[in-house]
Amino acid sequence: MGLYINKGKHPTVFKNNKKISEPNQELVRKDYLTEIIDEQQQANVSLINAINAMKHQFLNQEVVQASHLNTITTQLNELRTSNLQHKEYEELIIHLLKTQEDLQKQLSEKISKQEEFQMGVLNRLDQQEALTEKIFRQINHIRSILFERTNYLAEKIDEGYKITSSYVYNLMTGSDQPVTFYLMNNKNTEKQK
């Protein structure tokens, strides 16, 4: 605070037109209690400033920690949800694996029964093939027998025909020549014509 000069009532008080030589203070009076109080007040101001700065930092830290806490809480909730979903997926997979295992057992049993059925069919086919071959051999045997018998019968019929025709020829012509000679003469006659 500057020096107050009342120019209306006391214009010359504290006014000096001369050059002031420095230092112009001859006597210093110290009041230690005032100094201590001033120092304490300065310390109090510094302490209040430090407390305010710490309070500000504390509030900032509280906001940051609340944000971190919200983030951690969200992550924990997500982890819990994910863990529950994971457990549900595990149970579903275990159920599906058991169902696949049951289906595999059923399929294995069906395949085993099918293999047994196919083996039975193959055995029957083998037996059928053996029977077919046997029947084929028997048919061939019968065919050869029929062929032989047919030839034999044809020869016998031919011989019987010749004998019968010779007999009838002899009866009709009274000649003793065989029919074959007569047939040969007829053929020669026809060729000559």
Neighbour tally for 179: CB within 10 Å: 19
Can you read off the two tokens belonging to residue 105? 């057992």
Predicted confidence (pLDDT) at residue 107 exceeds the cutoff of 80: yes
End-to-end Cα separation, the chain, in angstroms? 183
pLDDT of residue 86: 86
- pTM, two decimals, is 0.34
Instruction: Indicate the domain borders of the chain.
Output: 45-188
What pLDDT, in 10s, does the model give residues 53-80? Answer: 999 999 999 999 999 999 999 999 999 9
- Over the stretch 152-184, which tens digit does the pLDDT of each residue have? 888 888 888 888 888 887 888 776 665 555 555
Angle of helix 179-192 versus helix 32-173 axis, rounded to 10: 90
CA dist 182 and 166 (Å) reads: 10
Torsion on CA atoms 6, 10, 15, 17, rounded to nearest 10: 130
DSSP sequence for 65-102: HHHHHHHHHHHHHHHHHHHHHHHHHHHHHHHHHHHHHH
> Taking a C-beta distance cutoff of 8 angstroms, is the pair 177, 166 a contact?
no
Helices marked H in the chain: 32-173, 179-192
